[in-house]
Amino acid sequence: MRHVPSSDTAQAGVLSFEEALIPTAADFDRGRWLYVPDHYSEYRYLLGTRGKHPLVCIGINPSTAIPDRLDNTLKSAERIALHNGYDSFVMFNVYAQRATDPDDMEREMNPVLHAENMKAFSWLLAQFPSVPDLWAAWGAIIEKRSYLPGCVLDMASIGQHFGARWFTAGTRSKAGHPHHPLYLKKDSSLDPFTDLTDYLHSLEEKFRR
């Protein structure tokens, strides 16, 4: 299934993260799935399985996946999380706008959507009983929009507050991009992402040239 944004998110309007947490009549197992908002829309804050030891996989933007109907990227993310000893996974996206093709993402960042997405990220990390583990898994897609590295820097700042640990899986590209999960083996291991901030600042510099 393909999702092309019907308009930019400022025109479409978005629920605040607090509003999006309020359950509706959506039909899925809430004991198994974390899905916010809990209905299909032009944006998605969170999607994953519930557990005591989750791995947060961080991509760029959501596609069409919903509970019980994961796309191949999320299926791969779940397999790798389980292989590395986690009992669950959550997909979090740097920018919350749904688009099957990243080229369809809005050209300018909607600051309201970004602010609510960061509230979602803070809320998610606050649920962890221990130190959150964050898997950077965005590939070269982070170069699709100039605002994306800055969004991740905001996430890095929030993660630091919670003592989060960042990881990659698979070989990073020559440009330093972490590997996208879709093209990884299911037994891929996680490696510490120690130069995250320097990597993001270099991307911002690249966009300024």
Q: Give 35-103 as a DSSP string.
A: EESSS--SB-SEEEE--SSEEEEEESS--S-BTTB--HHHHHHHHHHHHTT-SEEEEEESS-B--SSGG
Helices 196-208 and 148-161 sit at what angle, rounded to 10 degrees? 160
SS3 assignment, position 206: helix
Q: What is the pLDDT of residue 3?
A: 83
d(CA 149, CA 204): 6
Q: What is the pLDDT of residue 7?
A: 77
Segments making up each domain of the chain, as ranges: 9-208
Q: Would residue 139 be called left, alpha or beta, if left means φ above 0 and alpha means ψ between -120 and 50 degrees?
A: left
Tens digit of each residue's pLDDT (9 = 90 or more) over 86-117: 999 999 999 999 998 999 999 999 999 999 99
Contact between 168 and 135 (Cβ < 8 Å):
yes
pLDDT digits (tens, 9 = 90+) for 128-176: 988 999 999 999 999 999 999 999 999 999 999 999 999 999 999 999 9
- Residues whose CB falls within 8 Å of the CB of residue 17, separated by 6 or more in sequence, listed in order: 36, 45, 116, 117, 119, 120, 123
**What does pTM read for this prediction?**
0.95
Distance CA 70, CA 77 (A): 10
Query: How sure is the predictor about 6, in pLDDT bands with cuts at 50, 70 and 90?
Result: confident
Radius of gyration of the chain (CA): 16
The average confidence (pLDDT) of the chain is 95
